[in-house]
């Protein structure tokens, strides 16, 4: 179902409803996703990070970290991982599960330090940013990366539509449109691929991409 967005309050209302959905189903979501294999995505980010040291540990911001599965994976690899999560219950669970710092912020109220992170990991999260808010979100993520920092994103691909799926709001882009947003925000494309691997394209609903801060 499409939503007419005219004001900041409209954006806040749909963001709040989406976060409420996750707060109310946090335990079920955790149980249903804890065993998902996202090693390909984690590796795609880490192998493209370049620092003055050239070696780990890297500072990584896990955007939309949920209950902390990937946050813990980065920490177990020896990296300094920080979570960013809008749903209060997810943020609590992520702190407990990963032992990492988790900042509770939604996409409309981001307050991030500048030139701080080597990498940003946005796995199945940025598609919840309404199209109207996406440029500001990408600018905030660009700003929080160190020079030459790397951003990974994975989103369900689509035909450039947005709207409600049940009680969750999402925007679904094809590669060309997503590329336009990222380039406009100041990123250079490093690679992209579709998931899951090893199946025909029509069975690959996820578009993953890796970008470097110019």
Whether the Cβ atoms of residue 43 and residue 154 lie closer than 8 Å to each other:
no
Contacts of 168 (CB under 8 A, 6+ apart): 18, 21, 22, 128
Q: Is the pLDDT of residue 33 over 70?
A: yes
pLDDT in tens, 148-174: 999 999 999 999 999 999 999 999 999
Q: What is the pTM of this model?
A: 0.95
Closest CA to 68 of 78, 56, 82, 80: 82
- Indicate the average pLDDT of the chain: 95
Whether the Cβ atoms of residue 160 and residue 129 lie closer than 8 Å to each other:
no
Pick the CATH number of 8-213 from 2.60.120.260, 3.40.50.261, 3.40.50.150, 3.30.56.10: 3.40.50.150
Query: Residue 164 is encoded by which pair of tokens?
Result: 């409600």
Q: How far apart are CA 154 and CA 127, in angstroms?
A: 9
Regarding predicted confidence, which is higher, 151 or 7?
151
- Residue 22: per-residue pLDDT: 98
Domain boundaries, the chain: 8-213
**Buried-exposed string 122-157: b where 16+ CB fall within 10 A, e elsewhere:** bbbbbbbbbeebbeebbebbbbbbbeebbbbbbbeb
Using pLDDT thresholds of 50, 70 and 90, give the confidence band for residue 1: very low
């Amino acid at each position: 179902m499409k939503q007419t967005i005219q004001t900041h309050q409209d954006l806040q209302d749909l963001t709040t409803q989406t976060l409420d959905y996750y707060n109310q189903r946090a335990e079920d979501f955790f149980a249903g996703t804890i065993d998902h294999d996202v090693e390909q995505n984690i590796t795609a980010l880490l192998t493209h990070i370049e620092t003055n040291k050239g070696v780990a540990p890297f500072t990584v911001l896990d955007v939309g970290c949920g209950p902390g599965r990937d946050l813990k994976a980065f920490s177990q690899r020896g990296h300094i991982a920080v979570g960013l999560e809008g749903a209060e219950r997810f943020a609590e669970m992520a702190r407990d599960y990963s032992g990492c710092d988790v900042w509770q912020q939604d996409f409309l109220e981001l307050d991030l330090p500048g030139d701080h992170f080597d990498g940003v990991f946005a796995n199945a999260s940025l598609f919840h940013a309404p199209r109207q808010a996406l440029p500001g979100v990408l600018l905030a993520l660009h700003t929080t990366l160190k020079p030459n920092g790397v951003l990974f994103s994975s989103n369900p691909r689509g035909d450039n539509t947005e709207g409600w799926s049940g009680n969750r709001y999402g925007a679904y882009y094809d590669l060309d449109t997503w590329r336009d947003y990222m380039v406009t925000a100041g990123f250079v494309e490093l690679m992209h691929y579709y998931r899951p691997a090893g199946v025909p394209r029509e069975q690959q609903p996820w578009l993953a991409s890796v970008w470097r801060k110019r």
